[in-house]
C-alpha cells in the first residue's frame, strides 16, 4: 500500500517514466507471446527464437531499474528512518513499484495479443493479426502466464540488487573485465558464424562487456576533457563527467552495443542479407531495444543531474553564470559522442568481419 501511495503522489515526470516502463513491458510481453504462439505452431527451431526474445527482455529490465533509481521516492532522506523507511524498506518500495508497472504492461500485452488473435471479440481490429499470431493453434495458458510473469519478476529482482546498499566501486574496476568479455564475444562470433545460438551468445558477451566497460570509458572521457592545461570550464566538465561515470556508464555501454549491432546489420545487408531471428517482428523488436537503451541513458543522465543539483545550486550561488554550466554539459556530451561513436563503429567492423569470415 505504501508503494502505491507513493506512486500515486509522484510528480508527472516520474509517472511518465513509469508509464514508459509499462509500455516497454507490454511490448516485450507481446513479443514473448508471439514466440510462444510460433513455437506451438512450429516447434522446430523455437528455442533459438525464445533466446533471441530475451534481448528485449534484458533491455526492458535495464530500463526499469534505471527508472527505479531515478525515482525520488527511493532516495534516503533525513527523518525517514524514524518513520520506518530505512534503506532496505525503500528498496522494497522501489521493487514493488517496478513490479506494479511491469505487471500492468504484461496485462496490456495479454489483452492486445488475444484481441489481435480474435480471441476477444467486439472491439476494433478484432482478429487483425490472426495469421501472424497463429490463431488456429490453442495458446497454452500456463506457458503464456509464465512468460508474462518473467518481466515483473526479473525487473523487481534486478531493482533490489541494484538499489541495495553496497560500497561504491571505482569506475575503472570493470574496464578490464569488459574488454575481456568483449574479446570473448568476438571470438564466439567468429567461431559460431551467422545464425544459431552461438551468434546470440557471442553478441550477448560483447554487449555485457561494453556495459561493464562503460563506466571506465565515461571516466576516461572525463580525463580526456581535462587533459593538458584545462581552464575552469573544462575542469568543471571533466570532474562532473568522472562523478557521473558510475551511473551513466552501463547504459552508455549498452547504447554503444545497440549502435554497433545496427551498424553490423547494415554491413550484413550487403554481405548475404539480414538475420531475422524473430520473423516479421524482428524490426519492431530491434526498435524496442534501441528505444529502451536510449531511454535508459537519458533517465540515468537525468538522475545524475538531480544528484548533482546541490553542487549546481552552490556554483550558481557563488556567481557562476548559468551559460557556463550549460556549456560544460554540452562539452560532456560532446566528449561522450566523440569516444562512443568510433567505439561502436570499431566493434561493428570487428563483428562484421567475424560473421563474414
The least confident of 10-19, 262-271, 272-281 is 272-281
Mean pLDDT of the chain: 84
pTM recorded for the entire structure = 0.90
- For residue 182, give the C-alpha cell: 568483449
What grid cell was written down for 164? 541495495
Name which of 59-63, 83-87, 117-121, 233-237 the model is least confident about: 83-87
Query: Residue 342: what pLDDT?
Result: 94
Angle at 120 between CA 114 and CA 122, to 5 degrees: 145
Within its chain, how far is the Cα of 193 from the centroid? 26
Assess whether pLDDT exceeds 60 at residue 8.
Answer: no
Q: Is the pLDDT of residue 325 over 60?
A: yes
Give the three-state DSSP class for 119.
coil
Specify whether the CB–CB gap between 82 and 2 falls below 8 A: no
Which of 32-36, 62-66, 124-128, 251-255 shows the lowest mean pLDDT across its residues? Answer: 124-128
38 has pLDDT over 90 = no
Residue 13's pLDDT is 82
Q: Helical H runs in the chain? A: 2-8, 12-41, 46-70, 87-117, 141-163, 175-192, 196-225, 232-269, 282-307, 309-317, 322-355
Q: Residue 122 — very low, low, confident or very high, per pLDDT cuts 50/70/90? A: low
Cell (9 digits) for 335: 566528449
Distance CA 197, CA 49 (A): 9
Other beta carbons less than 10 A from residue 335's beta carbon? 21
In this structure, of 2-6, 231-235, 290-294, 301-305, the range with the lowest mean pLDDT score is 2-6
Q: What is the mean pLDDT of residues 291-313?
A: 87
Lowest mean pLDDT among 44-53, 186-195, 241-250, 268-277: 268-277
**Alpha-carbon span 133 to 110, nearest angstrom:** 12
Average pLDDT (63-87) is: 71
CB atoms within 10 A of CB 101: 28
Q: How confident is the model at residue 1 (pLDDT cuts 50, 70, 90)?
A: low
Q: Cell match 578490464: residue?
A: 176
Secondary structure letter of residue 139 according to DSSP? P
Q: Are 252 and 296 in contact (CB under 8 A)?
A: no
Residue in 83, 58, 115, 120 with CA at minimum distance from that of residue 6: 83
Higher confidence at residue 151 or residue 265? 151
Amino acid at each position: 500500500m505504501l508503494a502505491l501511495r507513493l506512486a500515486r503522489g509522484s510528480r508527472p515526470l516520474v509517472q511518465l517514466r513509469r508509464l514508459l516502463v509499462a509500455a516497454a513491458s507490454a511490448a516485450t510481453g507481446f513479443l514473448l507471446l508471439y514466440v510462444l504462439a510460433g513455437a506451438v505452431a512450429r516447434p522446430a527451431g523455437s528455442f533459438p527464437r525464445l533466446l533471441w526474445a530475451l534481448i528485449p527482455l534484458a533491455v526492458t529490465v535495464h530500463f526499469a531499474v534505471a527508472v527505479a533509481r531515478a525515482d525520488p521516492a527511493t532516495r534516503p532522506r533525513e527523518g525517514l528512518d524514524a518513520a520506518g523507511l530505512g534503506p532496505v524498506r525503500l528498496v522494497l518500495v522501489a521493487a514493488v513499484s517496478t513490479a506494479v508497472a511491469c505487471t500492468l504492461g504484461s496485462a496490456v500485452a495479454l489483452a492486445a495479443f488475444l484481441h489481435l488473435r480474435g480471441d476477444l471479440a467486439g472491439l476494433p481490429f478484432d482478429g487483425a493479426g490472426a495469421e501472424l499470431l497463429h490463431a488456429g493453434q490453442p495458446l497454452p495458458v500456463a506457458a503464456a502466464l509464465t512468460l508474462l510473469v518473467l518481466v515483473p519478476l526479473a525487473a523487481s529482482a534486478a531493482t533490489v540488487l541494484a538499489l541495495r546498499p553496497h560500497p561504491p566501486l571505482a569506475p575503472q574496476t570493470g574496464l578490464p573485465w569488459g574488454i575481456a568479455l568483449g574479446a570473448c564475444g568476438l571470438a564466439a562470433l567468429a567461431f559460431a558464424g551467422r545464425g544459431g545460438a552461438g551468434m546470440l551468445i557471442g553478441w550477448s558477451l560483447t554487449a555485457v562487456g561494453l556495459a561493464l566497460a562503460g563506466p571506465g570509458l565515461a571516466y576516461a572521457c572525463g580525463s580526456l576533457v581535462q587533459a593538458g592545461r584545462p581552464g575552469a570550464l573544462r575542469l568543471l566538465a571533466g570532474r562532473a563527467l568522472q562523478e557521473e561515470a558510475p551511473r551513466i556508464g552501463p547504459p552508455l555501454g549498452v547504447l554503444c552495443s545497440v549502435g554497433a549491432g545496427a551498424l553490423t546489420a547494415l554491413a550484413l545487408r550487403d554481405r548475404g542479407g539480414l538475420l531475422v531471428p524473430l520473423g516479421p517482428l524482428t524490426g519492431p523488436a530491434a526498435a524496442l531495444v534501441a528505444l529502451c537503451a536510449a531511454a535508459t541513458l537519458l533517465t540515468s543522465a537525468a538522475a545524475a543531474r538531480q544528484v548533482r543539483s546541490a553542487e549546481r545550486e552552490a556554483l550558481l550561488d557563488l556567481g557562476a553564470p548559468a551559460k557556463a554550466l550549460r556549456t560544460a554539459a554540452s562539452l560532456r556530451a560532446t566528449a561522450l559522442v566523440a569516444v562512443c561513436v568510433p567505439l561502436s563503429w570499431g566493434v561493428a567492423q570487428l563483428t562484421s568481419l567475424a560473421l563474414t569470415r
